[in-house]
A and B are shown apart, each in its own frame.
Chain A
Amino acid sequence: MTEKRIPQTDLDRLLARLRQRAAVYAPAEDGTGEVVLAALSGKESVTLEYRNFRLSPKALVLPQNQTLLCFKDGQAEEPRLPEGETILFGVRPCDARALLALDQVFLNGNPHDPYYARLRSGATVITLACARPMSSCFCTSVGGGPGDGTGADVLAVALAEDLLLRAETSKGEALLASLADLLSDATPAAVKEAQEQVRAAEDPMTPVKVDGSAERLRQAYDSPLWEAASRKCLGCGTCSFLCPTCHCFDITDEVRGGAGRRVRTWDCCAYPLFTLHASGHNPRPTPKERWRQRIMHKFRYAVENFDRLFCVGCGRCIRHCPASLDLRTVLKEVGA
């Protein structure tokens, strides 16, 4: 697949063209000085100057709030599957990889989730490689990288003046083919520059030892480190809600009279009530069990079940935890 290029000054034209075929989400300032993955209506000022979005793109394939079906007088309607095509432009490599973890759960699992499947198949992912990772990033330690195209349909790299584009899937190839009049071939020099940029971005990231984490965690199950590490956890849910691979959800019925709807909302294993049984028993009664489960799920159970880490090293949990918990510290302790 040849690398293509487009001058960054033509980015608005590219996005406008994309908007003709799908709902486009792109990085734009939200008016409070923050860059978010915004639904483009044409009035936004799109920017490529950002590290990563606070909210991960998982919200676009697994919405916080999703109506699954409606019912009336004892009869359920056909499930309402989401509609429409989307193009997600500017997703970071870590978040694109995270989609594959979600695919494992919702597409390859039993049952197969039709709501997720519909949103996922309707989405085209254009990943933008990272030039400047943050000190909380550790994607290279968990199998990813700042220029990793895994999970992307098209991988983009922003150079000084140009944007390089490379198709990673047949969907991506078709997309680039449809934009052929806007694109030209990238020069070998530009391709080399992109590769060097990615390499330079990999360098500053402090490695986190995760090899053999599954086995080490299995052995550390009863370690006193969990109690000490979890004492400061508030059970606030920030980590799960911002995490691009966290996917636990709750389903509730909202009813009035004889009619209503069944709704799926995000849930979080750090909540005290998450594992509360109807009997009143709670197998994870304190922050210790819940924090341990969080780490186990991502670095052991996922590996044992799917041969895949459920952490992509995006660092959101580290950066936004109000108690500044850092799972890298725990992994180091387990590895010791």
Chain B
Amino acid sequence: MTASHEIETRLRETAERLLGEKKVDLFLGHEKASLPLRTTPLFLTVAADAARLAWNPFCSPNLAVYLPRLFRAPADAREAKTAPPRPTVGVVLKGCDARSVVALIQEHQLPRDKLVLVGIACPGMVDARKAERVLGLHEALGAGEDAHGNIRAVVEDGTEVTLRREQVLADVCLECRAPTPSICDIVLGAAVEPREAHVARRQAEELESRPADARWAHFQQMMSKCIRCNACRQACPMCYCKDCLLDQTRPRWVGAGTDFSDVAIYHLARAFHMAGRCTACGACARACPMGLDVRLLVRKLNLEVEDLYGYRPGEAVDATPPLSAFAMDDPQEFLTEP
């Protein structure tokens, strides 16, 4: 029995108990999807359904994105009169999901006392598209984890193909420095070693070493396929604004089309709004239908925030996000002196 399988069994028991004892009204987890190499979010309300819960290398979705809407304040007094009481919600969290929950609690989007957090230290999740690329023209009709933690896929002619885990883990997982949830009420499974810090830096440093025009060309090339679907924003747990600045029409800050100028501003603006808030969960890159490197900009911004202000989003609920604070001795190298 693999470690995942053991955790899965305990997860089902935990969820069944929480729902059965009415400790939670709703339990969020993952279940098998209709296509292999993926899971789909599961909203459980009945204890007996806990058997549907899955824990495996395909549990990539960041469930934190579904939480704010469960606790959204009523729009007005009339709605408040008929609104149901706020639920107590149980949710399975990997390291990245937990960071998102911490950041959401910091921003008052989630009430800590209405959450029961089941934390599982995550060894990394499979990027379905990466795996499919490795399989080439073969299609996986089924996939699972073998005893060594690699992925065994069964393709259409019945043959089994083993995909090395490191080959198909999501990019964001390969850089993960906090796989163990920073916040949780119940812990399942053992701790997992974080990746080394320099891995995350490597890509940003490499790009920075190129001259300005080469960097712009790279940015253009990376973003040229963007179709402005907004999937990156919708998938991001930290993008919970009811009315996004980038959708606003009076005034219209950025056009809706695929002119590169609009594409660039959309991504620059959204990345900037993530400064000090992005928890590096990779939901944006996973959601992008065009396979863009959506994290291109936030990867750098997260490092900047860490270097300048010693802050990594999602570590501690009582920490103050850097852009909500200032220090008298903040560097001001950006200034122009006449």
* A touches B in complex, CB < 8 A: yes
Residue ranges of A at the interface with B (Cβ–Cβ < 8 Å): 32-34, 49-51, 54-55, 64-65, 132, 134-136, 204, 228, 231-232, 234-238, 240-242, 250, 252, 254, 263, 265-266, 268, 271-273, 318-320, 322-326, 328-329
Contact B257 A64 (CB under 8 A): yes
Interface centre among A34, A235, A320, by most B CB within 10 Å?
A320
Interface centre among A49, A136, A265, by most B CB within 10 Å?
A265
Q: What are the residues of chain A within 8 A of B235 when measuring CB–CB?
A: 234, 236, 322
Instruction: Give the interface segment out of B164-172, B205-213, B222-230.
Output: B222-230
Q: In the complex, what distance in Å separates the CA atom of A325 from the CA atom of B38?
A: 11
Q: Which residue of the partner chain, among A32, A135, A265, contacts B228 with CB atoms under 8 Å?
A: A265
Closest to B132 in A: A319
Q: What are the residues of chain A within 8 A of B137 when measuring CB–CB?
A: 49-51, 132
Contact A252 B256 (CB under 8 A): yes
How many cross-chain pairs have Cβ atoms below 8 Å apart between A and B? Answer: 111
B111 contacts the other chain (Cβ, under 8 Å)?
no
Contact B61 A252 (CB under 8 A): no
Contact A325 B40 (CB under 8 A): yes
Contact A263 B35 (CB under 8 A): no
Q: In the complex, what distance in Å separates the CA atom of A234 from the CA atom of B289?
A: 13
Q: In the complex, what distance in Å separates the CA atom of A60 from the CA atom of B259?
A: 16
Q: What are the residues of chain A within 8 A of B66 when measuring CB–CB?
A: 231-232
120-175 of chain B: CB within 8 A of chain A: 133, 137, 139, 141, 156
B87 contacts the other chain (Cβ, under 8 Å)?
no
Q: In the complex, what distance in Å separates the CA atom of A234 from the CA atom of B247?
A: 16
Contact A65 B259 (CB under 8 A): yes
Closest to A50 in B: B137
Q: Interface majority SS on B: helix, strand, loop or mixed? A: loop
Q: In the complex, what distance in Å separates the CA atom of A265 from the CA atom of B137?
A: 33
Contact A64 B234 (CB under 8 A): no
Residue ranges of B at the interface with A (Cβ–Cβ < 8 Å): 33-35, 38-41, 43, 61, 65-66, 133, 137, 139, 141, 156, 227-231, 234-235, 242-243, 247, 249, 252, 255-259, 283, 286-287, 289-291
Closest to A286 in B: B69
Contact B35 A319 (CB under 8 A): yes
Q: How far is the CB of A53 from chain B (nearest CB, A)?
A: 11
Q: Which residue of the partner chain, among A34, A54, A134, A322, contacts B286 with CB atoms under 8 Å?
A: A322
Shortest 8 CB-CB contacts between residues of A and residues of B: A65-B257, A236-B231, A324-B33, A324-B40, A322-B287, A236-B234, A237-B229, A265-B256
Q: What are the residues of chain A within 8 A of B41 when measuring CB–CB?
A: 231-232, 323
Contact B234 A235 (CB under 8 A): yes
Some 21 contacts from A to B, beta carbons below 8 A apart, are: A51-B137, A54-B289, A64-B227, A135-B139, A136-B35, A232-B66, A234-B231, A234-B235, A236-B230, A236-B231, A237-B231, A241-B229, A252-B249, A252-B252, A254-B252, A263-B256, A265-B256, A273-B243, A322-B231, A324-B35, A326-B34
Q: In the complex, what distance in Å separates the CA atom of A241 from the CA atom of B43?
A: 26
Q: In the complex, what distance in Å separates the CA atom of A268 from the CA atom of B227?
A: 12
Q: In the complex, what distance in Å separates the CA atom of A33 from the CA atom of B133?
A: 8
Known: A319-B35, A323-B40, A325-B40. A254 touches B229 (CB 8 A): no
Q: How far is the CB of B135 from chain A (nearest CB, A)?
A: 11
Contact A32 B227 (CB under 8 A): no
Q: How far is the CB of B161 from chain A (nearest CB, A)?
A: 16
Q: How far is the CB of A85 from chain B (nearest CB, A)?
A: 23
Contact B43 A242 (CB under 8 A): no
Q: How far is the CB of B72 from chain A (nearest CB, A)?
A: 10
Contact B255 A252 (CB under 8 A): yes
Q: Which residue of the partner chain, among A33, A231, A320, contacts B289 with CB atoms under 8 Å?
A: A320
Q: In the complex, what distance in Å separates the CA atom of A34 from the CA atom of B259?
A: 23
Contact A134 B139 (CB under 8 A): yes
Extra inter-chain contacts (7) besides given A33-B133, A318-B35, CB under 8 Å: A50-B137, A235-B234, A237-B230, A250-B256, A266-B229, A324-B61, A326-B40
Closest to B63 in A: A232
Q: In the complex, what distance in Å separates the CA atom of A241 from the CA atom of B229?
A: 7
Q: What are the residues of chain B within 8 A of A64 when measuring CB–CB?
A: 227-228, 257-258
Closest to A253 in B: B252
Closest to A33 in B: B133
Closest to A59 in B: B227
Q: Which residue of the partner chain, among B229, B256, B291, contacts A34 with CB atoms under 8 Å?
A: B291
Q: How far is the CB of A83 from chain B (nearest CB, A)?
A: 19
Q: In the complex, what distance in Å separates the CA atom of A250 from the CA atom of B227?
A: 14
Q: What are the residues of chain B within 8 A of A54 when measuring CB–CB?
A: 289-291
Q: Which residue of the partner chain, among A268, A272, A319, A326, contacts B229 with CB atoms under 8 Å?
A: A268
Q: In the complex, what distance in Å separates the CA atom of A271 from the CA atom of B231?
A: 10
Known: A237-B230, A265-B256. A328 touches B34 (CB 8 A): yes
Q: In the complex, what distance in Å separates the CA atom of A234 from the CA atom of B252?
A: 24
Closest to A252 in B: B256
Q: In the complex, what distance in Å separates the CA atom of A238 from the CA atom of B228?
A: 10
